[in-house]
Structure 1
């Protein structure tokens, strides 16, 4: 019985085992291989994160937007990508899931924003941070990152200084804070501070863009992932003294997990001057010249051959010849060719990116001048399998060669008489027309050449000591080396002067370098307790920078063929010699508290130490508090269908500045280059003052951020007030001291206030068609609040209490006296005389009243169009600043023909003069310093247009796009100068550029 009973039980046991095994196999068999493609409705999205919800398992979409992973039928996928709304999609037993992501107006809770030592989101930030990403940068044919930022960021005013390749930009973030004029922000590239001041010498670069060569040209815009600009105290105080003028954070592209991707980008650009001046033609010009000579009482010279040399344009040159010198000298076409290659990829633990680029650009001037740049970027990211160790290494190397004419020909093009002779003789030689003029192309005989090598490296290491405690270190090194020379051969001068290589020819060389390293260990702790999140960061900074510069000039050569060998010079002198060290050390910290994802408090602080100050003055303390209330999270608003996001934020804090140069507190000396009985002479250049300390900038801000209709419309409005005090300026000294001034702190206060508005809206969003609009406007105001003793100081003619630092004091013109034909001016103090100090009381402001930009992006299937307008309300000097009277030797705008001719005439311009009547000089000079020399320079500019088409993929799976881009295409303005934003009549204005290119990915 028992035996039979056991035999009966065994089949039951086997059956149970088989049942459970079959259940296990069935469950295993239910694991699905899920695949699909991530797109935005038209184009694949590469690099999107596709995770299984509530796990760390996931993949990154490849170049075609495709992904594959294993999951259970009951799982859900979480998909996220920068700038797009995150999605959660249940698998529901499907093996193929194609995902369409929609661009978020702001992606408030998803997009990570670089805030320097930490990251945040638009939703949770308590400070003011403006941002531009690679999506907007890559649509602009620019060589410098600052060029890509123009008009796109509120509170950031950027002006291009020249249209010459490699030239620089001026940038102001929320106005000018300091009397000493410094507005340069702190640049941080991949966590490493980067010097933005050129080391070129004015001895070499005078007349062209050399001293204005921007070191930021070394950063290839194609390699940039994003640029963040930190503006208020909450955002900048963690950088302490270095953040007084704002902080610009540049993040380069990094490798992403996925299949290896190769991208090739080729483009070609044509550039031309966008606007020529309407100048006098030959008959009008010659008539004014003759009339001016007669008015000056020298009409008899017109008939006397012995004065032919004084008036060749009237006596020996053709009276019927006309040349548009603007077209001859700056009317050429500049070409820029760019080639870019990048390779990226990697697995879940290690990713890499290697990118290389080459660019060659010419200019609109005659000749073979060009600018060349080769750049390379490499990046590798690694994470250990247990996710505790992270290492990031980045290296950026750039080599530039700038070989431009030493003299900008723009000024000559505007001034040269319209009947000036031919540039070349029939034999192809420079035409000197019997030594009666200075041929402008003779300057092409001069040689200006600069080579720049830049290396920027960064290593970031992070290790999780505990699950919520991380030890980090940021290590960086950068070197900037500039070598240039200027050759001035005697052949570049009119032969009538009889210059020889032995007596005139010279070479000036500049060998400069700047090397810097930084080490920043940090400790980062995150903790959360139910409704409260805590984020604590502490760290320290050690930075050292050395700069060296040696400028030599050799004069007198036996032959011009030896000019490049300075050792062959008959004499040599040291023009500049500098060797300086700058050391900086700081402690910094941040505490961030977040309650119920609604109330946020951010505390930042920094203690800075700088070698630029004397004993007991080297350290300064800076800090800020920022707070935000996301009121849309309150219960009474959570169900609101109109308002989807609302936040009130504010900040207050102090930053500082040590931007005064090295060794200013010490007695300093220079070698003069001369000698006394064979002994070199030392000349004192600075006087000892150990008492001055840090400049201080107190910043305050209040802001309101609103999102409507699920953030399809987002409006951010911010008001700020910055007060800068303890100004570091040159305090005037009595002449008996032997020094004009001594650097010290002055009890003056400068205030900047302003209103900034940013608007983003997604107007239409469907599967095939999208339309997005962005708009920003800034209304800044600057004023000098306090300056004790201003009236008796050397600054009395420059500044006025209550007025901006950017004012210019002018005479008030009363027009032309109908009887005398001479300019008249208001005698402000009624003393019967027109004097510069007492009667220049008409105030104009060179700073813009408001500025901003308007952009629209329209996408239809594979075709996208971006149109961006920049606008600015401002005033600027017009042509009358440089030439105020008709009849002088230089050419002038056509309206100069409307001048006073006889008693009783009512005319806008005075009587013609050749410049020989010195009694008329005060009137001419005062007019160029009057309100008439100042006019409206407001403009609306079509800054950028980009048209992109993505070709449908063929069997080869290559992604090919073709794009057409335009820069500075069209400007609406009343200003009659070369360019309303760069109104100088001596510098080449920014060019109009058209770019055709293609990008191929495989």
Structure 2
């Protein structure tokens, strides 16, 4: 009976789903039934427009699973009913649907499908270029991909989407930053951030946060890019090689990221609204010891260190309250308590757009409210408004585009990230609150982790971005234009440490402890770029010439203050109430930049293309005589598919060889580094403010140089339904700007200068996209990208005698880490053993850290699939990465110390002869007992951190039959599953004691009318 009941339930469920999904089928249920009842053999021939037979054409009876494939002679036979519809499809040809109409013979002619690759326009910054004719390497992500990801930052939408672009999220807390590398790290002391251009305006990506305020904050690196709403973005292009970046000169050394926002379209006024709600949680908890395991190891460590006789002595209970006072029967999973909550995010976006053929407009606004997984009232709020107006004169000569955006962010967070506490707090630690609901200090035997919730950190950011682009066609082929932009980024943050957040046993009062630290910072910039462009086409010959100039000024200011000794905690936000106020940091800089640039593009017979770009930069960051640098590139392309040999090919629809070589540079060293500089220390001597030297005069250093070489092959098959782009590149960065440390007796910490060092980044990149199947109601397309980077320090004169000898090795990447070589545990002593490289019988920091591991990815990429069936669309993106990373040994290697740790430390050495990978337990009270600090810096702390991640899944349903109303309901998942052998929190964010990226589920609604 149970089996029968189960069977009946299965039948009922099947019928229910069939009835629910039946509207999606192209034919009704009764038609399918009649088709099955009156099937006959239908035969025929499939040919192209020239009459040549086509083999491999898929022939499907619409609405059924019946089908076949045409043979070598183009013939086919299939069972079909008289009223059925036959669907003929083949990669590279247009899909055709033919009704049977009672016939037993059907002949079909398929026409080739033209995807018009030349009409795909890419933004190259100062100019646009078709994908077919580009000579440089430009990767792009469009709005239809960005919109399917529930992210706050544009960089998050790019993860796994592009070859050569490695993006890592620093923290799972809202507002946090990202690390990005475009084809590796080029400079020894420079950053890896590319140049960001938003609607033609440079946008600073560096946070203005201060370490004095945010040293322990969960997201100290608050990203200014959060001010750019991903839902407002039309496309993101990344310029990678010299041909694409050299026109930006020194600013394009680390690549260029071009962000183009959406614009209005002509037509009736349209209103669009988007509402979504998300849930976020930790993806993976560490396997930690339970109370029994922890106390067993803890007591064993105390005994091993010779304190066993004192364990039962009440006079020594305060030394080990976890063992003597808290009890053996208490257990709390602190990961669930401190970081196991649910983060909620609600997002609303409204926009109105429209206009005439001459003038279009778009106005949009958005609001987001988000919480964290931490306990307490931490939250992140963001409100933004954006407007865009385009106008073209009646004679099409004059054009103007005006865009403005303003974003306000408010981030309220606990002062410290609770993640490290969640991993290390004793499993038998006391309750968080006492019976009266107050913070429990358990007779002053521990520091309650929730006390940090009273030590609040708050940041408020305001970002204004404005741009105007004017152009006028003097003649048919001659156009002058000017791009003008202004950005203003302000960040005010503060941190409070009230006395009530500390253990009462310290007897702290507001007057003696409470303090407030504030950071008021601002970065504003204006830019003007006049340009002139002349384009002309003759028979078989095209010439495009662009000349322009750049004038930019950027000012940055920052004031960090600290007040101490408040009358009470209620006045702690009032700096005027403090007994003592000091300036921790004061900064006021002015950066000026100007340049001239140009481009000459030759196109011969639409198949031979030459692209020349150049720029002369001037920067205020260098001394007299060193302020200007020249950069340029040459790009070549040969569209060989237009040669006579390939013109008749039905297989190869597009083929191009391209190559480029050029030089970019960098002045990314900060302002005033060539001058004698000083800073206020916040101290005084006999009533006089003390100045501390921070830089020494050196006007001789100059521009860093980055020489880029690339070759590429682009192939399109079956009328570009299958498109492959393969690239090889080599970047060599020389004349490295490095802060050379000086002896303390000089009074200066370092001297900025050029080192005769060369860094090389090379690699292979592969991008592929394909339309696997396309019918009237069904389409399946896929994308794939793969990056295999290589990096090495080619030369560094005098490296052995410099302070960098401990960090770098000639012939190895900059991303290496030097470690001790762990040999495991001595089975007789139970202590960790390490390789003694110099054979002196001692393990020393300099001589014996010779084991080298490279923590940069060996390869990485992404695989995306998009399937549309009627009104239902399914998208899936898989991200993968082959790499090494720090494991849990990195932060704790010795069992028995106070504080919880990985359960792997439970399997430890106990007696002579044991063959274990973990040393004997120790209490932590004896200095030098065990080799834990060395083990944490050894090869044992590095392991495989490769992964395959379900980065994004989207299921979207477009509701049909609503006249004049577009309604989409969607379900999105971000960071859903990660397949890895890595045992840490997250394989991409290996052991940094910060909250890992969250798994998110989003339910949303889009309405347009």
Does the pair score TM above 0.5?
yes
2:968 is the alignment partner of 1:961: yes
Task: Please say which of residues 827-836 and 450-459 is displaced more in the overlay.
Answer: 827-836
Task: Please say which of residues 746-755 and 983-992 is displaced more in the overlay.
Answer: 983-992
Aligned length: 905
Q: Structure 2 matches for 1:836-847, cutoff 5 A?
A: 836-847=845-856
Question: Which of 140, 148, 155 matches 1:146?
Answer: 155
Give the CA deviation at 1:954: 2.6
Deviations 1:54-83 (A, max 9, x none): xxxxxxxxxxxxxxxxxxxxxxxxxxxxxx
What residue in structure 1 maps to residue 63 of structure 2? none
**Separation in 1, partners of 2:744, 2:512:** 37
What residue in structure 1 maps to residue 217 of structure 2? 208
Q: What SS is found at the alignment partner of 1:289? A: helix
Question: Which of 749, 754, 757 matches 1:748?
Answer: 757
Q: Structure 2 matches for 1:671-820, cutoff 5 A?
A: 671-820=680-829
Q: What SS is found at the alignment partner of 1:303? A: coil
Question: Do 1:582 and 1:611's aligned partners in 2 also have CA atoms closer than 8 Å?
Answer: yes
**Separation in 2, partners of 1:733, 1:377:** 49
What residue in structure 1 maps to residue 129 of structure 2? 120
What residue in structure 1 maps to residue 982 of structure 2? 975
2:351 is the alignment partner of 1:342: yes
Question: Which of 871, 884, 896 matches 1:887?
Answer: 896
What residue in structure 1 maps to residue 539 of structure 2? 530
2:996 is the alignment partner of 1:993: no
Q: Structure 2 matches for 1:640-655, cutoff 5 A?
A: 640-655=649-664
What residue in structure 2 maps to residue 939 of structure 1? 947
Question: Which of 895, 901, 905 matches 1:896?
Answer: 905
Question: Do 2:176 and 2:221's aligned partners in 1 also have CA atoms closer than 8 Å?
Answer: yes
Question: Do 1:695 and 1:725's aligned partners in 2 also have CA atoms closer than 8 Å?
Answer: yes
Deviations 1:715-738 (A, max 9, x none): 100000000000000123233312
Question: Do 1:536 and 1:591's aligned partners in 2 also have CA atoms closer than 8 Å?
Answer: yes
Question: Which of 930, 949, 955 matches 2:957?
Answer: 949
**Separation in 2, partners of 1:311, 1:108:** 71
What residue in structure 2 maps to residue 358 of structure 1? 367
**Separation in 2, partners of 1:115, 1:776:** 21
Question: Do 2:113 and 2:719's aligned partners in 1 also have CA atoms closer than 8 Å?
Answer: no
**Separation in 2, partners of 1:302, 1:737:** 53
What residue in structure 1 maps to residue 422 of structure 2? 413
2:578 is the alignment partner of 1:563: no
Q: What SS is found at the alignment partner of 2:474? A: strand
Deviations 1:120-152 (A, max 9, x none): 011010000000010100000000000000010
What residue in structure 2 maps to residue 930 of structure 1? 938
Give the CA deviation at 1:526: 0.2
Question: Which of 214, 238, 243 matches 2:252?
Answer: 243
What residue in structure 1 maps to residue 622 of structure 2? 613
What residue in structure 1 maps to residue 611 of structure 2? 602
Give the CA deviation at 1:446: 1.1
Give the CA deviation at 1:920: 2.1
What residue in structure 1 maps to residue 508 of structure 2? 499
- The alignment's C-alpha RMSD in Å is 1.6
What residue in structure 2 maps to residue 8 of structure 1? none
Q: Structure 2 matches for 1:268-287, cutoff 5 A?
A: 268-287=277-296
Q: What SS is found at the alignment partner of 1:837? A: coil
Change (3 A) 1:105 1:906: farther
What residue in structure 2 maps to residue 433 of structure 1? 442
Question: Which of 451, 456, 461 matches 2:465?
Answer: 456
Question: Do 2:176 and 2:222's aligned partners in 1 also have CA atoms closer than 8 Å?
Answer: yes
What residue in structure 2 maps to residue 3 of structure 1? none
Q: What SS is found at the alignment partner of 2:846? A: helix
**Separation in 2, partners of 1:512, 1:103:** 60
Q: What SS is found at the alignment partner of 2:427? A: coil
Question: Do 1:784 and 1:800's aligned partners in 2 also have CA atoms closer than 8 Å?
Answer: yes
Question: Do 1:584 and 1:608's aligned partners in 2 also have CA atoms closer than 8 Å?
Answer: yes
**Separation in 2, partners of 1:854, 1:103:** 27
**Separation in 2, partners of 1:611, 1:206:** 31
**Separation in 1, partners of 2:545, 2:530:** 14
What residue in structure 1 maps to residue 491 of structure 2? 482
Deviations 1:92-128 (A, max 9, x none): xxxxxxxxxx999975211110000000011010000
**Separation in 1, partners of 2:478, 2:415:** 57
**Separation in 1, partners of 2:333, 2:893:** 22
What residue in structure 1 maps to residue 925 of structure 2? 916
Give the CA deviation at 1:651: 0.1
Give the CA deviation at 1:837: 1.1
Q: What SS is found at the alignment partner of 1:838? A: coil
Question: Do 2:93 and 2:113's aligned partners in 1 also have CA atoms closer than 8 Å?
Answer: no
The answer for unaligned runs of 5 or more in structure 1 is 1-40, 43-84, 88-101
Deviations 1:808-866 (A, max 9, x none): 11111111001100001111111211111111111100100000000000000100000
Q: What SS is found at the alignment partner of 1:367? A: coil
Question: Do 1:199 and 1:211's aligned partners in 2 also have CA atoms closer than 8 Å?
Answer: no
2:561 is the alignment partner of 1:541: no
What residue in structure 2 maps to residue 517 of structure 1? 526
Deviations 1:228-260 (A, max 9, x none): 000000000000000000000000001111111
Give the CA deviation at 1:935: 0.3
**Separation in 1, partners of 2:837, 2:815:** 22
TM-score by length of 1: 0.89
Question: Which of 285, 296, 307 matches 2:305?
Answer: 296
Deviations 1:314-370 (A, max 9, x none): 111021111000000000000000000010000100000000000000000001110
What residue in structure 2 maps to residue 444 of structure 1? 453
Give the CA deviation at 1:501: 0.3
The structure 1 segments of at least 4 consecutive aligned residues displaced by more than 3 Å after TM superposition are 102-107
Q: What SS is found at the alignment partner of 1:287? A: helix
What residue in structure 2 maps to residue 58 of structure 1? none
**Separation in 2, partners of 1:792, 1:670:** 30
Question: Do 2:140 and 2:238's aligned partners in 1 also have CA atoms closer than 8 Å?
Answer: yes
**Separation in 2, partners of 1:373, 1:198:** 17
What residue in structure 2 maps to residue 261 of structure 1? 270
Deviations 1:480-501 (A, max 9, x none): 0111111110111111111110
**Separation in 2, partners of 1:222, 1:695:** 37
Question: Do 1:978 and 1:985's aligned partners in 2 also have CA atoms closer than 8 Å?
Answer: no
Give the CA deviation at 1:211: 2.7
Give the CA deviation at 1:518: 0.2
Question: Do 1:200 and 1:210's aligned partners in 2 also have CA atoms closer than 8 Å?
Answer: no
Question: Do 2:217 and 2:457's aligned partners in 1 also have CA atoms closer than 8 Å?
Answer: no
What residue in structure 2 maps to residue 424 of structure 1? 433
**Separation in 2, partners of 1:556, 1:738:** 33
2:526 is the alignment partner of 1:554: no
TM-score by length of 2: 0.89
Task: Please say which of residues 338-347 and 677-686 is displaced more in the overlay.
Answer: 677-686
**Separation in 2, partners of 1:745, 1:162:** 34
Q: What SS is found at the alignment partner of 1:326? A: helix
**Separation in 2, partners of 1:749, 1:919:** 41
**Separation in 1, partners of 2:308, 2:327:** 20
**Separation in 2, partners of 1:577, 1:436:** 40
Question: Do 1:105 and 1:713's aligned partners in 2 also have CA atoms closer than 8 Å?
Answer: no
What residue in structure 2 maps to residue 76 of structure 1? none
Q: Structure 2 matches for 1:81-96, cutoff 5 A?
A: none
Question: Do 1:654 and 1:699's aligned partners in 2 also have CA atoms closer than 8 Å?
Answer: yes
**Separation in 2, partners of 1:628, 1:307:** 79
Q: What SS is found at the alignment partner of 2:570? A: helix
Give the CA deviation at 1:677: 2.3
